[in-house]
């Protein structure tokens, strides 16, 4: 392990001391798993899009705590994710992208070989100080189709939420209802000939129940949405904290589509509908199997 120094190291040590032994043991295992990630890095440890596994390693503790202790994530059939290029298509909910972080953690901790999930960030993310840096170091890139295609062609595992912000800021009454899907991911899958693995996240849809979304206020503040929840904005930043719901991640069978990426919308829509249906049937299974929103 590398030597730690300065306040960052101290903070990390403090964080580590507060966590139970099981999580700290896991942290040690991480080095090994990160080494096994098939991503190619240059002599300074970066990939072409700015991913830096060492930064992932150094900042993973909070995500690890969320994964193990807060959301107590349970994965189902993660071995269905094939090696090599693959698109993970998941539902998006919960006001803040904890679902993305938990899918990424699952792929790093439990998939074989371990993978670093590449995400497509909203482009306004690249304007936020620090957020932009850590998003990039963790494997995200501001979302343009070209970047996504190049990542797939390099054999990466790319996560897309076709609902986008429509999903992330959906209201509580719409939980487990998939919002309109964008079609870009399907054209990319066709272009890169990448298999699609549908992923259903059960739990995130209840983590921070949205009561209303004041889109106009959000736009005025330069954000894609402005959610009103039971706790936000009333409690300030603290109100962004999610409830300790139990997360289940269900991975579906890989789906391979064929056709021309430039096909007309009607054809693409039909293929998108198949992915949507696959997520919905995973929802059904997940909601029937779980014992409660918070209980394991």
Q: 46 or 257, CB closer to other proteins?
A: 46
Q: How far apart are CA 187 and CA 120, in angstroms?
A: 15
The two three-digit tokens of residue 130, written as one number: 């620090």
Does residue 103 sit in helix, strand or coil?
helix
Cα→Cα distances 190→10, 163, 261, Å: 48, 19, 5
Q: Work out how close the CB of 143 gets to other proteins at its nearest, in angstroms, rounded to a whole number.
A: 9
Q: Work out how close the CB of 157 gets to other proteins at its nearest, in angstroms, rounded to a whole number.
A: 17
Total residues belonging to the chain = 296
Q: 49 or 176, CB closer to other proteins?
A: 49
The two three-digit tokens of residue 143, written as one number: 């979302």
CA atoms within 13 A on the CB side of 161: 26
Q: Work out how close the CB of 149 gets to other proteins at its nearest, in angstroms, rounded to a whole number.
A: 11
Q: Work out how close the CB of 139 gets to other proteins at its nearest, in angstroms, rounded to a whole number.
A: 13
Asked if residue 93 lies in contact with residue 168, where contact means CB atoms within 8 angstroms, the answer is yes
Q: How far apart are CA 197 and CA 235, in angstroms?
A: 37
Burial 247-285 (b: 16+ CB within 10 A, else e): bbbbbbeebebeeeeebeeeebeebbeebbebbbebbeb
Q: Work out how close the CB of 217 gets to other proteins at its nearest, in angstroms, rounded to a whole number.
A: 22
Q: 53 or 210, CB closer to other proteins?
A: 53
Q: Work out how close the CB of 131 gets to other proteins at its nearest, in angstroms, rounded to a whole number.
A: 8
Provide the binding-site residues for other proteins, judged by CB under 8 A: 42-44, 46, 48-50, 52, 123-124, 126-133, 136, 141-142, 144, 146-147, 150
Q: 74 or 147, CB closer to other proteins?
A: 147
Q: Work out how close the CB of 98 gets to other proteins at its nearest, in angstroms, rounded to a whole number.
A: 22
For residue 84, the Cα-to-chain-centroid distance in whole angstroms is 18
Q: Work out how close the CB of 105 gets to other proteins at its nearest, in angstroms, rounded to a whole number.
A: 23
Q: 34 or 133, CB closer to other proteins?
A: 133
Asked if residue 165 lies in contact with residue 145, where contact means CB atoms within 8 angstroms, the answer is no
Q: 49 or 257, CB closer to other proteins?
A: 49
Q: 43 or 264, CB closer to other proteins?
A: 43
The two three-digit tokens of residue 132, written as one number: 């932009």
Q: How far apart are CA 237 and CA 214, in angstroms?
A: 17
β-sheet bridge partners, residue 212: 228
Angle at 108 between CA 103 and CA 114, to 5 degrees: 125
Q: 111 or 151, CB closer to other proteins?
A: 151
């Amino acid at each position: 392990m590398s030597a730690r120094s300065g306040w960052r190291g101290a903070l990390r040590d403090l964080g580590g001391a507060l966590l139970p032994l099981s999580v700290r043991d896991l942290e040690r295992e991480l080095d090994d798993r990160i080494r096994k990630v098939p991503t190619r890095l240059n002599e300074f440890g970066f990939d072409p899009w700015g991913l830096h596994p060492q930064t992932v390693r150094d900042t993973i503790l909070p995500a690890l705590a969320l994964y193990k202790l807060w959301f107590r994530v349970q994965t189902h059939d993660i071995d269905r994710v094939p090696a090599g290029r693959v698109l993970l298509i998941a539902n998006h909910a919960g006001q803040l992208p904890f679902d993305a972080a938990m899918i990424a953690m699952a792929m790093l901790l439990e998939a074989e070989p371990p993978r670093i999930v590449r995400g497509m960030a909203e482009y306004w993310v690249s304007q936020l100080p620090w957020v932009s840096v850590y998003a990039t170091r963790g494997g995200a890139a501001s979302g343009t189709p070209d970047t996504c295609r190049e990542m797939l062609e390099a054999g990466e595992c790319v996560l897309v939420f076709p609902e986008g912000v429509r999903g992330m800021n959906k209201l509580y009454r719409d939980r487990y209802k998939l919002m309109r899907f964008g079609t870009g991911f399907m054209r990319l899958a066709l272009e890169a000939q990448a298999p699609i693995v549908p992923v259903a996240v059960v739990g995130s849809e209840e983590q921070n129940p949205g009561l209303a979304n004041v889109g106009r206020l959000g736009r005025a503040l330069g954000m894609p949405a402005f959610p009103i929840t039971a706790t936000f904005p009333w409690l300030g930043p603290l109100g962004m904290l999610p409830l300790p719901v139990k997360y289940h991640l269900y991975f579906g069978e890989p789906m391979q589509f064929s056709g021309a990426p430039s096909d007309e919308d009607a054809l693409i829509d039909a293929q998108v509908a198949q992915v949507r249906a696959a997520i919905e049937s995973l929802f059904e299974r997940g909601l029937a199997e779980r014992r409660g929103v918070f209980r394991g």
